[in-house]
Copies of this chain bind each other. A is one copy, B any other.
Amino acid sequence: MKLSTRGRYGLKAMYQLALHYGEGPIPLNTIADKQGLSENYLEQLVSTLRREGFLNSVRGAQGGYMLAKSPKDITVGDILRVLEGDMAPADCVVDHNVICEKEEVCVTKLVWMQIKDSINNVIDSISLQDMLDEQVKMDKEKLKV
């Protein structure tokens, strides 16, 4: 039940961009460097996020990427679903799936649905803005000590 690097790196990259929201385009190599990721690999993830409308890009020198919406309007769920697909622990509870129509007997399906719902509740309730706020809170805590 692990996330792949797609989801994990993708969230890190989006968080990095949230940190600089409103400051114009940030080039990919900067993001990759700050988060310690392969630029070439990250490119694939970022290109998906752009196609899905969560990022804007500017080509050419001084170009880069920026969030397409405010950090408060992008959730962890948005990002993970784009990069990892539907967050379902089994194929039979993937949205709009057609297979497995023998719902009558399958008690295990109820279990997978509950897992899926709880995951989605969490990730849809956390926005990038929430993560920024959390970071600020953590920094304050650290100062006290």
Seen from chain A, the residues whose Cβ lies within 8 Å of a Cβ on chain B are 1-3, 7-8, 11-12, 15, 76, 80, 84, 87-91, 104, 107-108, 110-112, 114-115, 118-119, 121-123, 126, 131, 134-135, 138, 142
| B107–A131 CB distance below 8 A | yes
Rounded to whole angstroms, the CA-CA distance of A126 and B113 in the bound complex is 12
Looking at the complex, which one of B1, B11, B84 makes contact with A88 (CB distance below 8 Å)? B1
> Main SS of the interface on chain A?
helix
| B90–A8 CB distance below 8 A | yes
A115: chain B residues within 8 A (beta carbon): 119, 122-123
Looking at the complex, which one of B108, B112, B118, B131 makes contact with A118 (CB distance below 8 Å)? B118
| B134–A2 CB distance below 8 A | no
Looking at the complex, which one of B1, B84, B114 makes contact with A122 (CB distance below 8 Å)? B114
Rounded to whole angstroms, the CA-CA distance of A126 and B114 in the bound complex is 10
| A118–B122 CB distance below 8 A | yes
Rounded to whole angstroms, the CA-CA distance of A84 and B111 in the bound complex is 16
| A121 with B119, Cβ < 8 A, contacts A84-B1, A108-B8, A111-B76 known | no
Rounded to whole angstroms, the CA-CA distance of A91 and B35 in the bound complex is 17
